Amino acid sequence: MTIDSTTPPGTLHTDHLGALTERTSAAAPEFTAMADAIWDDPEMRWEEFRAQEKHQAAARSHGFTITEKVAGIPTAFHAERGTGGPVIAFLGEYDALADISQESGNPLRTPDPANTSGNGHGCHHHLLGSGALLAAVVTAEYFEAAGIEARVRYYGCPAEEAAAGKTFMVKAGAFNDVDAAVTWHPTPLTRSRQSLTLSYSQVYFHFTGLAAHAGAMPHLGRSALDAVELMNVGVNFLREHMPDSARVHYAITDAGGRSPNVVQAHASVYYVIRAEDTRQMRDLHERVVRIARGAALMTETELEIEFDGACAEVLPNEVLERTLEGVLQQLGPVPFDAADQLAATEFAIGLDGREIAAAKRLVGWDVRDERALHDEVAPYSPEQPRPQMTGSTDVGDVSWVVPTVQISSATAALGTPFHAWQTVAQGKMPAAHKGMIHAATSMAATAAAIVIDREVLTAAQREHSDILALTPYLEPIPDGVVAPPLRADGRSTKH
């Protein structure tokens, strides 16, 4: 199985693609079953112990060597198979979200009666991790059978949701010997073009004052709740003076108590601060911190700042992206059938029509198109500006230390809001499984193209190093801050 002289660089020979497709299809039932089992037992960030055990058991059964507690994090691991050659990483996730439990396949809001946690896989990470591990297994087994030297490494990454597990792993050097990384994310559409994401930080502001009787002796009290409210007002005034693409969100996590006739002695607020890049994010973060200090000064309260986590924006790699696009053109779209479309239509009825129309325009469809699932590959237009997401992902930090490519693969109806029960409901349906298997095949084939044609890997690494020479990676997490599971008091180092 060799690539002939007429094959363009980065194009996978049909013999390789056919063999990888067959292997993925044969192994798929094991991994779709694992995805379903993880869907049935959704665990929150940093607590994905049972999901991790399933991933490790599957990797071990396929000849991978397990390294546990990567970066010291209990639910982070990697699994490796192969010798010699480059190190190709597959990135997986398996954390769920709170309070979005939903009955499988039901387009009407119905929490799953068998789910006692209330959690749900509203971002389809049960598919993400299982699909990435399937790709790693298929790639490693095929390389060994074909005599191709490479080390295939699967990373089980915890706490992507508002926690930046990979960022802590990057900070610990977990990816330092990786040559290229491949991953995917379930979405309502299939494409190779990577959207830009926002850098973010998340931080708690804890205020401490003095309690007093609010009616009899209010002058003796110092209200921590007043400090929280003044901080929020100050940040709301700041919004007029932020870059248009920046975002600031907050939640009051401690309002001091339930008695209004008491001057509240303690109160806390949790902020997420986003901007186009880490430099902008740092600047905005510091402005928010200064507002918090001002609120403490005005109320004569003490302020404790707890840095919780952060991540960088994604750095796309054009070389790897073009390679992935070539694979998708050879492979074609997710093979949805009429039954899949009909089932997705049941969900589309209850979705926001504006979101459905926007999704159809994004993939180049007429808004009147009756298809509910994206059964094509979205047009690849490198000459057009990249779409800018206002969300964030810790894949960003990996992409700054390793050339990284990420496929989007359709697993839900167009217009489905992620981080919502509608996504949870579609997570075990045949269409979701097909999207996962398609993504696994695409990732395996892309990894094979990178390893077999070393010109692709060399070009991708050159592109990556050229960008970093002009714009070095800025670690978004300050020194001294460790992952939440490693904090003795449950809090980070204070800043």
- In the chain, which segments carry CATH 3.30.70.360? 199-312
What is residue 489's predicted lDDT score, i.e. its pLDDT?
62
Q: How large a percentage of the chain has pLDDT more than 70?
A: 96
- Confidence grade of residue 7 (pLDDT, cut at 50, 70, 90): very low
Query: What does the pLDDT read at residue 14?
Result: 77
What is the reported pLDDT for 4?
Answer: 40
- SS3 state at 174: coil
In the predicted structure, residue 126 carries a pLDDT above the cut 60: yes
Provide the pLDDT for residue 494. Answer: 44
Overall average pLDDT of the 121-130 stretch: 99
pLDDT > 80? residue 495? no
pLDDT reading at 307 higher than 70: yes
Cα angle 78, 80, 83; round to 5: 150
How large is the average pLDDT for residues 469-494? 83
pLDDT, tens digit (0-9, with 9 covering 90-100), for 314-353 = 999 999 999 999 999 999 999 999 999 999 999 999 999 9
- The DSSP call for residue 429 is S
Query: In the structure, what pLDDT confidence band is assigned to residue 11 with cuts at 50, 70 and 90?
Result: low
| Cβ proximity of 43 and 57 under 8 Å | no
Q: What is the pLDDT of residue 384?
A: 87
Where in the sequence of the chain do the CATH 3.40.630.10 domains occur? 14-197+313-470
**Residue 25: is its pLDDT beyond 80?**
yes
Average pLDDT over residues 225-254: 97
**In the block, residue with structure tokens 């693969």:** 409
Around Cβ 399, how many Cβ atoms within 10 Å? Answer: 28
- Reply yes or no on whether the pLDDT at 250 is more than 90: yes
Nearest to 159 by CA among 284, 276, 43: 43
Residue 451 reports pLDDT greater than 80: yes
> What number of residues does the chain have?
495
Q: What would the two tokens of residue 364 be? A: 């180049």
Place of tokens 């112990």: 49
DSSP string, 109-156: ----TT-SS--B-TT-HHHHHHHHHHHHHHHHHHHHHHT---EEEEEE
pLDDT > 50? residue 230 = yes
Name the residue among 317, 310, 322 with its Cα closest to residue 400.
Answer: 317
Superfamily of domain 14-197+313-470: Zn peptidases (3.40.630.10)
Average pLDDT, the chain: 95
Helix, strand, or coil (residue 197): coil
**Residue 3's pLDDT is what?**
37
pLDDT at residue 490, rounded to an integer: 56
Residue 160's identity, in one-letter code, is: E
pLDDT at 218 over 50: yes
Mean pLDDT of 234-258: 97
Q: What is the mean pLDDT of residues 51-62?
A: 99
Q: What torsion, rounded to 10 degrees, do the Cα atoms 365, 370, 374, 377 define?
A: -40
Phi then psi for residue 378, to 5 deg, are -60, 145
Residue 282 pLDDT exceeds 50 = yes
Could you read off the pLDDT of 254-269 as tens digits, one per residue? 999 999 999 999 999 9
Position 15 pLDDT exceeds 90:
no
> How far from 406 is each of 49, 199, 264, 478, CA to CA, in Å?
25, 17, 47, 27
pLDDT given at position 67: 99
Residue 24, pLDDT score: 98
Q: How far apart are CA 438 and CA 443, in angstroms?
A: 9
Pick one of 3.30.70.360, 3.50.50.60, 3.30.379.10, 3.40.50.720 as the CATH number of 199-312: 3.30.70.360
Q: How confident is the model at residue 207 (pLDDT cuts 50, 70, 90)?
A: very high
Nearest to 167 by CA among 486, 483, 403, 490: 483
Q: What is residue 387's predicted lDDT score, i.e. its pLDDT?
A: 84
β-bridge mates for residue 405, sequence order: 182
